[in-house]
Amino acid sequence: MRVVDTGAAGFLGSHLTERLVNEGHKVIGLDNFITGSADNIAHLAGNKNFKFIEQDVTEYIYLPGEIDWVFHLACPASPEDYLKFPIKTLKVGSLGSHKTLGLAKAKGAGFLLASSSEVYGDPKEHPQTEKYWGHVNTVGPRGVYDETKRFGEALTMAYHRSHKVDTRIARIFNSYGPRMKAGDGRVVPNFVNQAISGLDLTVYGDGSQTRSFCYVSDTVDGLYRLMRSGYCNPVNIGNPKEMTINEFAGKVLEVTGSKSRLINSPLPVNDPKVRQPDITLAREKLGWEPKISLDEGLKKTIEYFT
């Protein structure tokens, strides 16, 4: 297959690119390096199955030749990043989804939108199934991310219904692993780097909020299976093993062997209190479920940051 992936130099995008190249596909990676890094794809330079184009995907995308699949992953993903780039975040899910869907339509290609568990907002249903419509504060600071993903989903379904584009929507829950940026502000790189440097672990709020962490190779496998499936409605891709942030901090201290302490700082506005994917649909439709345990995934992540 000849494949385009946006956000190719990002955390998730670079792992997807690698997986696609390893599967024998020809990949054209696009990124504008707002939050991605050339280092993430430096090892693919010179690979005959990989071509990189520096491109802002909110602008018209010109690519000659046939394309079979378009994966639209580009977007700042860390709360700190999307608060730093609120308008670019809104543009990449709206204008960027428009351009990449337009590309898929013109080429008769399959299209996959990397959506997010953030479409569920601070959820009132727990765990979250794909049937849940969500609880989002549109005008809060996180609204820029939540709404860019929600608009992207709406546009994807409109292209599916009106233009018969063969679309997919992956609702990705907290993913982690090597190539996250040390300073991107998300809990995994923060805690791991604090623990290995002997700094206090910064628990936001009282640490009773929950998350469910999925190792990046599992996430990428879910995306790859979803693209190959014939399923066009949203599918949760995440690890259903839920824990509090305090429990997660304890796990990081255990795996790193660090003696760091936990300190509390203010909870960000509209920080979801719980988050856990129901992955019944992914199991049924994709034959997918996560394989990598938190211990194993954390060890690989710690190795990367050490």
Range in contact with ligand UDP (rule: CB under 6 A) among 39-47, 49-57, 62-70, 267-275: 267-275
Residue 236 as a binder of ligand UDP (CB under 6 A): the answer is no
CA distance 215 to 174: 9
Longest dimension (CA), the chain: 57
* Active-site choice (82, 145, 159, 224): 145
CA distance 215 to 226: 17
Residue 245 as a binder of ligand UDP (CB under 6 A): the answer is yes
Q: Find out whether 90 and 147 touch, Cβ atoms under 8 Å.
A: yes
Range in contact with ligand UDP (rule: CB under 6 A) among 28-36, 50-58, 196-204, 251-259: 196-204
Residue 202 as a binder of ligand UDP (CB under 6 A): the answer is yes
Range in contact with ligand UDP (rule: CB under 6 A) among 7-15, 52-60, 153-161, 201-209: 201-209
CA distance 85 to 81: 6
Binder of ligand UDP out of 186, 223, 238, 240 (CB under 6 A): 186
Residue 239 as a binder of ligand UDP (CB under 6 A): the answer is no
* Residues near 265 by beta carbon (within 8 Å), at least 6 away in sequence: 202, 203, 204
Residue 258 as a binder of ligand UDP (CB under 6 A): the answer is no
Residue 187 as a binder of ligand UDP (CB under 6 A): the answer is yes
Residue 204 as a binder of ligand UDP (CB under 6 A): the answer is yes
Nearest to 245 by CA among 284, 205, 305, 303: 205
DSSP state letters, 34-53: SS--GGGGGGGTT-TTEEEE
Residue 268 as a binder of ligand UDP (CB under 6 A): the answer is yes
Give 111's Cβ-side CA count (13 Å radius). Answer: 30
CA distance 15 to 66: 23
Active-site residue 145, yes or no? yes
Binder of ligand UDP out of 97, 211, 236, 239 (CB under 6 A): 211
Which positions are catalytic?
A: 145
- Footprint on this chain of ligand UDP (rule: CB under 6 A): 78-79, 174, 186-187, 190, 202-204, 209, 211, 245, 267-268, 271
